[in-house]
């Protein structure tokens, strides 16, 4: 065993002696005064619900929050009811111990929608949130009208080696305690084609979210739940119309996986956006939001006129993976 591995194993042992990353079951301090929450089996879930019309739910990616969706949500709310939800362990939602797999997160989203009186919904996911969107569809297909996925992270082949190593007991605790909150600027930079999006304000926002109580333990639990080998064989069962939105320079979920997913899903259309990285809703906000709006407008009643969206300034939401 090399000296580097010895040091890492020693770090893992020290983590068990000092205490593993801790969960945080209760509400988080410092939430905005206008934040809205609902309790789901003891999980304090943060959500934002705006607009009227056919319901749309927005599901963020790994290590992100509903703030990523705010400009998109405001644009869609002109003729849809748009609900953005912080998944368990992220944003302002609490971080209790438990199951953080895509299927468990899907059940959480369905429970929130039940409490909000939503019968059926169009599901929009980004990156890891796409695996939650597909889990929602597989578990309750009659309630999902259509699906839109940005930079989908849904295949076992997409899981990076860091997260595969994190599956090991003790080793994962050490990896996340030592590295999860490190080199944030590099991780943010990896998500964008255009380095001008890697601002100090964006980096500081991500650092603040990662520093909230329970963030490391929840992120590790979510990482360990990213096991797609079994479920990806079921993707051909998904018959809903599906829009795939992908940047041509996505270094996190490369475009080849978009082509793979488009072949697997029976009714999928892949839209590719040039000079764009892992977060098309930021780098290609206007064309991706227009494409999404047209796709979702198919759910409007034939007699209901489709309003022309007002111009929206280029957003500056925080990045995710």
* Residues facing residue 273 across a β-bridge: 247
Q: What is the pLDDT of residue 313?
A: 56
257 found inside a domain? yes
pLDDT at 5: 54
Contact assessment for residue 47 and residue 66, using Cβ atoms and an 8 Å cutoff: yes
237 domain-assigned: yes
pLDDT at 317: 47
Whether 215 maps to a domain, the answer reads no
Q: Which domain holds residue 95?
A: 35-156+227-299
> Domain with 45 in it: what CATH number?
3.40.50.1820
Given a contact cutoff of 8 angstroms between Cβ atoms, the answer to whether 109 and 73 are in contact is no
Any domain includes 176: no
Side-chain half-sphere exposure of 169, counting CA atoms within 13 A: 0
The tokens 């890492």 sit on which residue? 8
Output the CA torsion sign for 217, 221, 226, 227. positive
Alpha helices in 169-277 (DSSP H): 171-179, 184-190, 200-210, 215-224, 255-264
Q: Is residue 243 part of a domain?
A: yes
User: Burial, 134: exposed, middle or buried (Cβ in 10 Å; 0-12, 13-18, 19+)?
Assistant: buried
Instruction: Give the model's pLDDT for residue 167.
Output: 94
pLDDT of residue 4: 63
* 276 phi, psi to nearest 5 deg: -140, 140
Q: What is the pLDDT of residue 314?
A: 54
139 vs 132: CA distance, rounded Å:
10
Strands 81-85 and 43-50: antiparallel
Q: How far apart are CA 18 and CA 193, in angstroms?
A: 40
Kindly state whether residue 121 falls inside one of the protein's structural domains. Answer: yes
- Would 6 be classed as within a structural domain? no
Burial of 195 (0-12, 13-18, 19+ CB in 10 A): exposed
- Give the pLDDT of residue 21: 83
Q: How many CB atoms lie within 10 A of CB 122?
A: 26
Number of domains in the chain: 1
User: How do the pLDDT tens digits run along the chain, 321 residues long?
Assistant: 556 655 655 555 554 444 468 999 999 999 999 999 999 999 999 999 999 999 999 999 999 999 999 999 999 999 999 999 999 999 999 999 999 999 999 999 999 999 999 999 999 999 999 999 999 999 999 999 999 999 999 999 999 999 999 999 988 998 898 888 889 999 999 999 999 999 999 999 999 999 999 999 999 999 999 999 999 999 999 999 999 999 999 999 999 999 999 999 999 999 999 999 999 999 999 999 999 999 999 999 664 454 555 555 555 545 445
> Is 2 part of a structural domain of the chain?
no
Alpha-carbon dihedral sign for residues 270, 276, 280, 284: negative
214 within 8 A of 24, measured Cβ to Cβ? yes
């Amino acid at each position: 065993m090399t000296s580097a591995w010895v040091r890492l194993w020693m770090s893992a042992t020290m983590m068990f002696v000092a205490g593993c990353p801790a969960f945080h079951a209760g509400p988080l301090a410092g939430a905005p005064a206008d934040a809205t929450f609902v309790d789901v089996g003891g999980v304090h879930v943060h959500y934002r619900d705006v607009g009227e019309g056919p319901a749309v739910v927005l599901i963020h990616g790994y290590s992100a929050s509903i703030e990523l969706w705010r400009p998109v949500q405001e644009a869609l709310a002109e003729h849809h009811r748009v609900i953005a939800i912080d998944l368990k362990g992220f944003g302002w939602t609490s971080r209790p111990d438990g199951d953080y797999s895509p299927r468990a997160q899907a059940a959480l989203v369905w429970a929130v929608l039940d409490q909000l009186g939503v019968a059926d919904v169009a599901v929009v996911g980004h990156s890891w949130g796409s695996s939650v969107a597909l889990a929602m569809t597989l578990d309750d297909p009659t309630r999902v009208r259509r699906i839109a996925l940005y930079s989908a992270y849904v295949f076992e082949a997409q899981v990076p080696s860091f997260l595969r190593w994190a599956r090991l007991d003790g080793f994962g605790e050490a990896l996340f305690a030592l590295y999860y909150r490190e080199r944030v600027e590099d991780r943010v930079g990896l998500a964008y084609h255009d380095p001008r999006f890697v601002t100090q304000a964006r980096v500081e926002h991500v650092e603040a979210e990662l520093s909230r109580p329970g963030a490391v333990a929840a992120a590790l639990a979510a990482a360990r739940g990213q096991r797609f080998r079994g479920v990806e064989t079921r993707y051909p069962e998904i018959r809903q119309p599906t829009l795939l939105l992908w940047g041509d320079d996505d270094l996190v979920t490369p475009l080849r996986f978009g082509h793979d997913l488009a072949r697997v899903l029976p009714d999928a259309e892949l839209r590719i956006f040039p000079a764009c990285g892992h977060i098309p809703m930021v780098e290609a906000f206007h064309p991706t939001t227009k494409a999404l709006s047209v796709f979702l407008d198919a759910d409007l009643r034939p007699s209901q006129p489709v309003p022309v969206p007002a111009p929206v300034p280029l957003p500056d939401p925080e990045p995710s993976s």
